Structure 1
Amino acid sequence: MSSSDDDAPLIGSNGHFAGAAQSPEVISKEAEQPVGGTSRRNGRLNPGVSIRFGPAGDGDVEMKDVVKGRQVNKRKSQGKKSYAEPESSEDDKPLSKRRRTSGKQAASKPTDARSAQRLTNGTKVPEASKTAIGEDSDSSTPIETKLAKRKVKVEQQAEKEAKAVRKEAQASAKKTSKTAKSTKPVTNGVKKEVSEAKKKPTNAGAPVGKSSTKKASKPVKSEASTPAKKGKGKAAPVKEEIEEPEGDEGDEDEEYRWWEDPAKGDGTIKWTTLEHNGVVFPPPYESLPSDVKMKYNGTPVTLEPDAEEVAGFFGGMLNSTHNVENPTFQKNFFGDFIDIIKKTGGARDAKGNIIQIKEFAKCDFNPIFDYYEMKRLEKKALKGPEKQALKAEKDAVEAPYMHCMWDGRKQKVGNFRVEPPGLFRGRGEHPKTGKVKMRVEPEQITVNVGKGAPVPPPPEGHRWKEVKHDQEGTWLAMWQENINGNYKYVMLAANSDVKGQSDYKKFEKARELKKHIDRIRKDYQKGLKHELMVDRQRATAVYLIDKFALRAGNEKGEDEADTVGCCSLKFENVTLRPPNTVIFDFLGKDSIRFYDEVEVDPQVFKNLKIFKKAPKKEGDEIFDRLTTSALNKHLSNYMAGLTAKVFRTYNASYTFATLLRDMKPEGSVLEMVKAYNDANRKVAILCNHKRTVTAGHASQMEKLGDRIKGLHYQKWRVKQMMLDLEPSLKKKKGAKFFELDADLDQEWINEHQAFLIEEQQQKITKKFEKDNEKLVTDGEKEMKPKELEERLSVVEDMEKKFQKENKTGKVEAEGKGPTVEKFDNMITKFDQRIENMSLQAEDKENNKEVALGTSKINYIDPRLTVVFSKRFQVPIEKFFSKTLREKFDWAIKSVDEAWEF
Structure 2
Amino acid sequence: MSSSEDDVPLARANGRANATPKMKSPATNGDLDPGVSVRFGPVQDADVDMKDVDAARGASKRKSRTSIDRKKSYVEPESSEEEDKPLSKRRRTSVKHEDPETDEDVPLALNGRKLPKASETAIGEESDSDVPIEKKLTAQKKKIEQKATKDARAARKAPAKKESKPAAATKKQTNGTESVTPKKGKAKVKAESEDADEKEEEEDEYKWWEDPTKGDGTNKWTTLEHNGVVFPPPYEPLPKNVKLKYNGVPVTLHPEAEEVAGFFGGMLNSTHNVENPVFQKNFFTDFKDILKQTGGAKDAQGNKVDIKEFIKCDFKPIFEFYDAQREEKRNLPPAEKKKIKAEKDEQEAAYQFCTWDGRKQKVGNFRVEPPSLFRGRGEHPKTGRVKTRVLPEQITINIGKEATENINGNYKYVMLAANSDVKGQSDYKKFEKARELKKYIDKIRKDYQKALKHDMMVERQKATAVYLIDQFALRAGNEKGEDEAETVGCCSLKYENISLKPPNTVIFDFLGKDSIRFYDEVQVDPQVFKNLKIFKKAPKKNGDEIFDRLTTSALNKHLQNYMQGLTAKVFRTYNASFTMSNLLKEMKATGTIPEKVKAYNDANRRVAILCNHKRTVTAGHANQMEKMGERIKGLRYQKWRLKQQMLDLEPTLKKKKGAAFFERDEDLTVEWVKEHQAFLLEEQTQKIQKKFEKDNEKRVADGEKEMKTSELNERLEVVKDLEKKYAKENKSGKVEAEGRGPTVEKIEAAIVKLDQRIETMSVQAQDKEDNKEVALGTSKINYIDPRLTVVFSKKFNVPIEKFFSRRYARSSSGPSSLWKRTGSSNHSIPS
CA distance in 2, matches of 1:516, 1:501: 24
* Among 621, 624, 644, the residue aligned to 2:545: 621
Match of 1:430 among 380, 398, 410: 380
Structural mapping, 1:415-454, within 5 Å:
415-448=365-398
Q: What is the number of equivalent residue pairs in this alignment? A: 706
Query: What is the aligned partner in structure 2 of residue 312 from structure 1?
Result: 262
Map of 1:863 onto structure 2: 787
SS of alignment partner, residue 256 of structure 1: coil
Equivalence for 1:76:
70
Residue 423 of structure 2 corresponds to residue 413 of structure 1:
no
Query: 2:225 is matched with which residue: 252, 261, 275?
Result: 275
Q: Distance in 2 between matches of 1:161 and 1:272?
A: 41
Matches within 5 A, 1:348-387: 348-387=298-337
Pick from 204, 216, 236 the counterpart of residue 286 of structure 1: 236
Find the aligned partners of 1:147 and 1:853 in 2 and give their Cα distance.
20
1:31 aligned residue (26, 40, 48) = 48
> 1:837 is matched with which residue: 758, 761, 774?
761
In structure 2, relative to structure 1, the CA distance for the partners of 1:744 and 1:578 (3 Å cut) is same
Does the CA contact (< 8 Å) of 2:214 and 2:220 recur in 1?
A: no
Q: Measured at CA, do residues 291 and 438 of structure 1 come closer, stay the same or move farther in structure 2, by a change above 3 Å?
A: same
Indicate yes or no: 2:757 matched with 1:823. no
The C-alpha deviation readout for 1:717-738, integer Å capped at 9, x for no partner, is 1111111111111222222222
Deviation at 1:666, TM superposition (A): 2.3
2:448: which partner in 1? 524
Cα shift readout 1:766-786 (whole Å, capped 9, x = no counterpart): 222222222223332222222
Contact 1:73 1:557 in 2 (8 A): no
Which segment is superposed worse, 247-256 or 596-605?
Answer: 247-256
Asked whether the 8 Å contact 1:204–1:259 carries over to 2, the reply is no
1:394 CA displacement: 2.2
Residues 814-848 of structure 1, C-alpha deviation per residue, up to 9 Å, x if partnerless?
Answer: 11101111111112112222222222222222222
Among residues 283, 286, 293, which one is paired with 1:343 in the alignment? 293
1:883: Cα distance to partner?
4.7
AA matched with 1:540 = T
Percent of counterpart pairs with the same letter?
Answer: 71
Q: Secondary structure of 1:584's partner? A: strand
Three-state SS of the structure 2 residue aligned to 1:598 is strand
Residue 57 of structure 1 aligns with which residue? none
Corresponding letter in the other structure for 1:443: E
Partner Cα distance (1:430, 1:71) in 2 = 23
User: Is residue 45–residue 534 contact of structure 2 (8 Å, CA) maintained in 1?
Assistant: no
- Residue 157 of structure 1 aligns to a residue whose secondary structure is helix
- Contact preservation (8 Å) 2:215, 2:429: no
Question: Do structure 1's residue 248 and structure 2's residue 248 form an aligned pair?
Answer: no
Offset, 1:261: 2.1
Three-state SS of the structure 2 residue aligned to 1:110 is helix
Q: CA deviation at 1:689?
A: 2.0
Partner of 1:606: 530
Q: How does 1:527-546 map to 2 (within 5 A)?
A: 527-546=451-470
State the distance in 1 between where 2:353 and 2:127 align. 51
Change (3 A) 1:669 1:647: same
TM-score normalised per structure 2: 0.80
Q: Distance in 2 between matches of 1:789 and 1:77?
A: 77
Q: Deviations over 1:152-200 (max 9, x none)?
A: 010000000001000113xx59xxxxxxxxxxxxxxxxxxxxxxx7xxx
**Judging changes above 3 Å, is the alpha-carbon distance between structure 1 residues 443 and 107 closer, same or farther for their aligned structure 2 residues?**
farther
Q: Mean alpha-carbon deviation: is it higher for 284-293 or for 711-720?
A: 284-293
Q: Which residue of 2 aligns with 1:563?
A: 487
Aligned twin of 1:460: none
Please give the per-residue CA displacement for 1:198-219, whole angstroms capped at 9, x wherever unaligned: xxx864899xxxxxxxxxxxxx
Would the aligned equivalents of 1:273 and 1:408 in 2 still touch at CA under 8 Å? yes
- The worse-fitting range, judged by mean Cα deviation, of 745-754 and 606-615 is 745-754
Partner of 1:790: 714
Report if the CA contact (8 A) 1:563-1:587 is conserved.
yes
- Tell me the distance in 2 between the aligned counterparts of 1:838 and 1:400: 45
Gaps of 5+ in 1: 1-26, 34-69, 81-102, 119-138, 174-196, 207-244, 449-467
Give the match for residue 660 of structure 1: 584
- The one-letter code sitting in structure 1 at the alignment partner of 2:70 is K
Unaligned runs of 5+ in 2: 1-43, 51-63, 75-111, 179-201
Note the C-alpha offset of 1:699.
2.8
Taking the aligned partners of 1:145 and 1:414, their CA distance within structure 2 comes to 41
TM-superposition CA deviations, 1:346-365 (whole Å, max 9, x none): 22222222221111111122
Find the partner of 2:604 among 680, 703, 710: 680
Q: Distance in 2 between matches of 1:246 and 1:729?
A: 67
By how many angstroms is 1:506 displaced? Answer: 0.7
Task: State whether residues 444 and 479 of structure 1, in contact with CA within 8 Å, keep that contact through their aligned partners in structure 2.
Answer: no
Change (3 A) 1:485 1:294: same
1:293-318 Cα offsets, whole Å, 9 max, x none, are 21212222122221121112112212
Matches of 2:758 and 2:176 in 1, distance apart?
A: 54
Decide whether aligned partners of structure 1 residues 701 and 487 sit closer, same or farther in structure 2, where only a CA change above 3 A counts: same
Q: Normalising to structure 1: TM-score of the pair?
A: 0.74
Instruction: Tell whether the 8 Å contact from 2:363 to 2:416 is kept in structure 1 after alignment.
Output: yes
Q: Which residue of 1 aligns with 2:214?
A: 264
Name the CA distance, whole Å, in 2 between partners of 1:696 and 1:313. 23
Match for 2:143 among 150, 153, 162?
A: 153
Q: Distance in 1 between matches of 2:589 and 2:331?
A: 48
Q: Alpha-carbon deviation of 1:683?
A: 1.4
1:614-667 CA distance string (max 9 Å, x none): 000000000111001111111111111111111111001001111111222222
Residue identity in the other structure for 1:665: A
Residues 1:670 and 1:574: Cα distance change in structure 2 (over 3 Å) = same
Listed one character per residue, the Cα deviations across residues 327-385 of structure 1 (whole Å, up to 9, x for unaligned) are 11111111111111111122222222222111111112222222222322333333344
Read off the aligned partner of 2:142 and give its amino acid letter. Answer: V
For residues 292 and 700 of structure 1, do their structure 2 counterparts lie closer, same or farther at Cα, with a shift above 3 Å needed? closer
Q: Which residue of the partner structure matches residue 78 of structure 2?
A: none
Q: Is the 8 A contact 1:202 1:260 kept in 2?
A: no
Supply the AA of the counterpart residue of 2:737: A
Measure how far apart 1:391 and its partner are: 2.6
Q: Aligned with 1:614: secondary structure?
A: coil
Q: Deviations over 1:539-597 (max 9, x none)?
A: 11111111111111101011211101010000111111111111111111111111111
Structure 1 pair 540/259, CA: closer, same or farther in 2 (3 Å)?
same
Alignment of 1:77-476 (within 5 A): 110=120, 113-114=123-124, 141-169=131-159, 172=160, 203=165, 247-249=174-176, 253=203, 255-448=205-398
Residue type at the aligned position of 1:715: K
In structure 1, how many angstroms separate the alpha carbons of the residues matched to 2:65 and 2:748? 70
Larger fraction in helix: 2
Equivalent pair of 1:479/1:489 in contact (CA under 8 Å): no
Distance 1:115 1:281, change over 3 A: closer
Shift in alpha-carbon separation, 1:813–1:630, aligned structure 2, 3 A:
same
| Deviations 1:693-724 (CA, angstroms, capped at 9, x unpaired) | 33333332232222222222211111111111
Counterparts in 2 of 1:844 and 1:495: CA distance versus 1, 3 Å: same
How far off is 1:397 after superposition? Answer: 2.4
Report the Cα offset of residue 603 of structure 1.
0.9
Within-5 A mapping of 1:47-86? 72-76=66-70
- Separation (CA, whole Å) in 2 of partners of 1:680 and 1:115: 13
- How far residue 31 of structure 1 moved from its aligned partner, in angstroms, is 3.0
- Is the counterpart of residue 900 in structure 1 residue 830 in structure 2? yes
Change over 3 Å in CA distance of 1:827–1:387 after alignment to 2: closer
Report if aligned partners of 1:507, 1:861 keep a CA contact under 8 Å in 2. Answer: yes
> 1:584, 1:254 → 2: CA distance?
48
Alignment check: 8 A CA contact 2:204 2:359 kept: no
Does the 8 Å CA contact 2:45/2:533 hold for their aligned counterparts? no
Q: Secondary structure at the match of 2:491?
A: coil
In structure 1, the partner of 2:777 is 853
Amino acid of the residue matched to residue 436 of structure 2?
Answer: E
Distance in 2 separating the partners of 1:899 and 1:203: 17
